[in-house]
Amino acid sequence: MTLIYKIETKERWEKAKQNGLYEGSKHDQRDGYIHFSSKETLEGTLDKHFKGKTNLLLIAVNAKDLGQALKWEASRGGALFPHLYAPLPTTHILWEKPLQQSENGTHILPIDLQ
């Protein structure tokens, strides 16, 4: 199983769960796809886009459950990032965990990431 990860605020994620569908952040909607990270790119994504932000969740999805709408594309530094070119049904979520922060504002990832 290949897990991919989405970072979102608790409020936006709760709203998506109520609707049963996550259509992405404003950034995702602007780009035309939902940005995900792999285990290898997750720390860089947190540092670049979420440092110091609070009330965040880390959401895990099995990449294979997303079918052909998921594309792995080169981005930052040539690393491959998973991009979903469709809304995400919340039923595909394997788990969600709150992201804790250290004193310097960096996020602490769960130690059981796959």
Residue 114 in this model has a pLDDT that exceeds 70: no
67 assigned to some structural domain:
yes
Residue 112 in this model has a pLDDT that exceeds 90: no
Residue 2 in this model has a pLDDT that exceeds 70: yes
Domains held by the chain: number: 1
Region 22-51 average pLDDT: 92
110 assigned to some structural domain:
no
Chain-wide mean pLDDT for the chain? 92
Residue 14's domain comprises 3-101
Residue 107 in this model has a pLDDT that exceeds 90: no
Q: What is the CATH number of the domain that holds 15?
A: 3.20.170.20
Residues 6 or more apart whose CB falls under 8 angstroms from that of 111 comprise none
51 assigned to some structural domain:
yes
108 assigned to some structural domain:
no
113 assigned to some structural domain:
no
- Under a CB-based contact definition with an 8 Å cutoff, are residues 83 and 66 in contact? no
Q: What is the pLDDT of residue 100?
A: 87
84 assigned to some structural domain:
yes
114 assigned to some structural domain:
no
